[in-house]
Amino acid sequence: MTDLSQPNTPHVARTSSRETLNILLNPVGSAGDVHPLAGLGSALKARGHEVTVITNDYFRPLIENLGLGFVPMGSREEFEAVLHHPDAWHPRKALDLIFRTVIEKTLAQTVQTIQRLNQPGRTVVVGTSLALGARVAQDWLKVPTVSVHLAPSIFRSSYLMPRFSGLGFMGALPRFARNWMWRLIDALVVDKALAGPLNEYRATLGLPRVSRVLHGWWHSPLRVIGLFPPWFGPPQPDWPAQTVLTGFPMFDERELHGLAPEVEAFLAQGDAPLVFTPGSAMLQGEKFFAAAAMACSKLGRRGILLTRFAEQIPAQLPAGVRHFSYVPLSALLPRAAAMIYHGGIGTCAQALAAGVPHLITPMAHDQHDNAARIRRLGVGAELEMSRVTAASLSRALGALLADRGIPGRCREIAQRMTQEHPMERTCALIEAAAS
């Protein structure tokens, strides 16, 4: 595997001799999946390429505001229905829900769209972890395809185990038993949900059956890019050999939306606030926000509650606590006292870059693993979302803010991130995939 131990990688400029490419980006998931590829698309466009984003119509305004091509894959109503589903944040049921309601429904349409937009010799497809349609198109059309994974937990390993809810016991097993457990999980859970419909569709294209879908097949055999640095997710011996880590992409719409005047005014009125969010796609955050508001009152701290879904916010907020629909974290967090959030990788990266302490309240997906990595870095703490109350939150925040070692470690990591060039490296690898 490529040695990525040196974080300060030279700027990689696009050579003038390379032709303009037709790049198709296929992010599948919530804003946490779409934002990084939107930022990547903007960077690729700036390097002279034609860029089209294939994703749910919910994200049309963002993509078109960036001046990128857009092809809808699923309706806004379908996307919002998934957000409202109670299983969307369930640690074991979420994957099955997403496959049935999003991936399976758009599988054929995604392949047909890539077939229509493909310009042999010029096209490169870039898909996020759940872009299974893009992987089928790669197998069928032989179009160069790059898999982009946003978090280390996507990479299964029997060495340094990713942490998932309910699977903590695997860390105590010998390596051969971990390998056996991954096979059992695939047979009884993952392939049971995914492989049947996926192989039925592949058969219509004359493609062979695949198994262990989330173990090896979902990684492009051409190139896999991890959009995180090796100091956050060290590469393991059993990761795909074609993997390169480039760093956090750090896109959060700041170039489209600066700090609103009311946000700027609030920040100027007093001490650095605590910032709370359970995630951009979270529609079941009433208890979280109620606990957050009360914790701020208990601690005598100012607070900002972030969500686009205002119905989750308490009707009455304590003095010094405000709700805002959206604020670019790259502009807000350098002026915050701490970030309290669900553990999504995009928010995690912004908090690391801002050099602020983390309190992570994980629920599902990659969140438990990201929380474990933040704790190992010594820049934050963890409180399971199911245990969040005003009392538990205020205790955890009190201990976090009293830890005199955390600020220095936060500053060290933030400084390190200023020396990395993730977007340039990622763009160069995508360009190289066309060769």
Q: How sure is the predictor about 93, in pLDDT bands with cuts at 50, 70 and 90?
A: low
Any long-range contacts for 45-49 (C-beta under 8 Å, 24+ apart)?
47/14, 47/427, 47/431, 48/14, 48/20, 49/20, 49/21, 49/22, 49/23, 49/431
Domains identified in the chain and CATH numbers: 22-247+420-433 (3.40.50.2000), 261-417 (3.40.50.2000)
Are the C-beta atoms of residues 276 and 293 closer than 8 Å to each other? no
Tens of pLDDT along 207-232? 999 999 889 999 999 999 999 999 99
Residue 296 has pLDDT above 80, yes or no: yes
Q: Tell me the pLDDT band of 435, cut-offs 50, 70 and 90.
A: confident
Six-digit token pair at 237? 């011996």
Q: Per-residue confidence at 95, pLDDT binned at 50, 70, 90?
A: low
Per-residue pLDDT for 2 more than 90?
no
Sheet holding 50-55, edge to edge: 69-72, 50-55, 22-26, 123-127, 145-149, 223-226, 243-245
Distance CA 389, CA 369 (A): 22
Please give the pLDDT value at position 15: 40
Q: Facing residues of 25 across strands?
A: 53, 126
301 is written with which tokens?
């701290």
Decide if 325 contacts 308 (C-beta within 8 A): yes
pLDDT tens by residue, 66-83: 999 999 988 888 777 766
Residue 194: per-residue pLDDT: 82
164-198 confidence digits (pLDDT tens): 767 777 777 888 898 888 898 888 888 887 888 89
Whether residue 332 contacts residue 324, with contact meaning beta carbons closer than 8 Å, is answered with: no
- Token pair in block for residue 313: 């916010």
- Express each pLDDT in 113-124 by its tens digit: 999 999 999 999
8-62 confidence digits (pLDDT tens): 333 334 443 458 999 999 998 877 889 999 999 999 999 999 999 999 999 999 9
**Closest by Cα among 392, 365, 360, 389 to 376:** 360
Per-residue pLDDT band at 281 (split at 50, 70, 90)? low
CA separation for the pair 240, 2 (Å, rounded)? 11
Q: Can you give the three-state secondary structure of 314-354, one letter per residue?
A: CCCCCCCEEEECCCCHHHHHHHCCEEEECCCHHHHHHHHHH
Report residue 246: phi and psi, to 5°: -115, -25
- State the pLDDT confidence band at 3, using cuts at 50, 70 and 90: very low
Percent of the chain clearing pLDDT 90 (strictly above):
63
384 CB-contact burial (10 Å; exposed 0-12 / middle 13-18 / buried 19+): middle
Pairwise CA distance, residues 369 & 280, whole Å: 19
Distance CA 325, CA 318 (A): 18
Which pLDDT does position 203 carry in this prediction?
95
360-418 pLDDT, tens per residue? 999 877 899 999 999 999 999 999 988 999 999 999 999 999 999 999 999 999 999 99
